[in-house]
Amino acid sequence: MILDFCQALRDGNKLAQMEEAPLFPGESIKVIAKDVMYICPFMGAVSGTLTVTDFRMFIKSAERDPPFVVDVPLGVISRVEKIGVQSHGDNSCGIEIVCKDMRNLRLAYKQEEQNRLEIFENLVTRAFPVSNGLPLFAFSYKEKFAVNGWKVYDPMAEYKRQGLPNESWKISKINSTYELCDTYPAVLVVPTSVKDDDLSKVAAFRAKGRIPVLSWIHPESQATITRCSQPSVGPNDKRCKEDEKYLQTIMDANAQSHKLIIFDARQNSVAKGGGYESESAYPNAELVFLEIHNIHVMRESLRKLKEIVYPTIDETRWLSNVDSTHWLEYIRMLLAGAVRIADKIESGKTSVVVHCSDGWDRTAQLTALAMLMLDSYYRTIKGFEVLVEKEWISFGHRFAMRVGHGDDDHADADRSPIFLQFIDCVWQMTKQVRLACLPEVSCSVDALCTQREISVQSEVQETRVESLETKIPAIFFCLK
């Protein structure tokens, strides 16, 4: 995937050779500047016209035939800075644009150019609308589609597809107003015998109120994948009898096994400094640490990867350079963890609980990957849409914070390529088990929001923000 991505970065400029970039419905031009020089790392300096809209930065060469074009969605911009530029004649002032897709772009223009400040300010304002009190472009996008992507995922329909509710599991509306847990969906599946009062006590014991709830059930063995956050045991090894009984009930719901496997995504040493389930408090549970690193380690790994792939690649040291980033090592760890979860469900007929610290990063990666392995429905276009909506968006992955949508704080310690890693893992699966894997997808407009609860509160459906699921079929056929 890394080599393919590097080639895509180089080819992207060559592919866009239209006379002018077509504007999306609702997209508007904010500033146009001529005699701007793009300092291309592959072709040298290219003189042309710069157009900034509320969605993209578009550069078109003035003299080349066919024209050389750079088309950059503003959402991929991480940082914009003024720089000095040397050896480019009258164009002595410049802007460096650091992108989230690994590109670094440099522009140069004349120092006396009247609209140079306007260029910089429009780029900063439009690339980081949230930091400047402006709406994201998604709210201005006006294209109409025959399919309503907001209706692709129906939790009740999805749980019905899985055969739920049944005698052991029920649909709970305890979180219908997001009062139990504001980062969980309104519809939850919990053991039939558990009362709401006990669920509230379990929520008080679990970080962020993220109680163990069902994500997937095996159609034959009834072994389940449940997800949650870490227990708040604290330094004094605090216990919660309701939580202990709750996990026992989850185990009892599966008559095929008398054991519950708890997969803690974290490293052993880190988890034991936080909260984890001791075997003395949970005697029928086996605790397994998957040793996956935290968001800060993953962010640093991506930074190192960017350094070795753009703008040039050292072919003679390629393998050792990739190895030094640890990116593929971390991808392997995620896939290996998901395989262990899937194997316990399929071969071991044993129910599993999956969590990390808060249960919205590594947990989402692992449950979604394991479900993709176990259930062929999720390997269809429609099923993959449902999987992302369900395990990532509805269960509160912090897309806005991890990606930094519209935010100019590029050094924010909460940014991390968590969803990017998931997509890389899916790509690896499509290459390694090609016949079993169908979908290839892009990013989600739903993911502008941190979780479904925020999506509902901000009324993005009512304001006609388009969902990715509206365009997935078209994306898929284009890829084919």
359 among annotated binding-site residues: yes
Task: Report the distance separating Cα 417 and Cα 414, nearest Å.
Answer: 10
35 is in an annotated binding site: no
| Helix 362-374 × helix 418-432 angle, to 10° | 20
* Nearest Cα residue to 252 out of 244, 260, 241: 260
Q: Which member of 93, 99, 181, 356 is catalytic?
A: 356
Tally Cβ neighbours within 10 Å of residue 335. Answer: 20
Ordered alpha helix ranges (H), 287-395: 295-309, 318-325, 327-346, 362-374, 381-387
Please check if 40 is assigned to a binding site. no
Joined together, the tokens standing for residue 7 give 């080639």
Q: Which amino acid belongs to residue 50?
A: L
How many residues make up the chain in this entry? 480
Which token pair is 239? Answer: 């216990």
Catalytic residue flag (residue 356): yes
The annotation status of 358 as a binding-site residue, yes or no, is yes
Is 318 annotated to bind a ligand? Reply is: no
Asked whether residue 361 is marked as a ligand-binding residue, the answer is yes
Q: Is 294 annotated as a binding residue?
A: yes
Burial classification of residue 117, based on how many CB atoms lie within 10 Å of its CB (0-12 exposed, 13-18 middle, 19 or more buried) = exposed
Confirm if 186 and 175 have CB atoms less than 8 A apart.
Answer: yes
Asked if 351 contacts 223 with a C-beta cutoff of 8 angstroms, the reply is yes
Please list, residue by residue across 30-69, b when 16 or more beta carbons sit within 10 angstroms of its beta carbon and e when fewer do. Answer: bbebeebbbbbeeeeebbbbbbbbbbbbbbbbeeeeebbb
Task: Using alpha carbons, list the distances in angstroms from residue 49 to 176, 297, 325.
Answer: 52, 40, 37
Q: Which amino acid is at 106?
A: R
Can you read off the two tokens belonging to residue 463? 């304001």
- Give me the active site residues, please: 356
Annotated binding site for substrate, which residues?
A: 294-295, 356-362
Q: Residues forming the annotated binding site? A: 294-295, 356-362
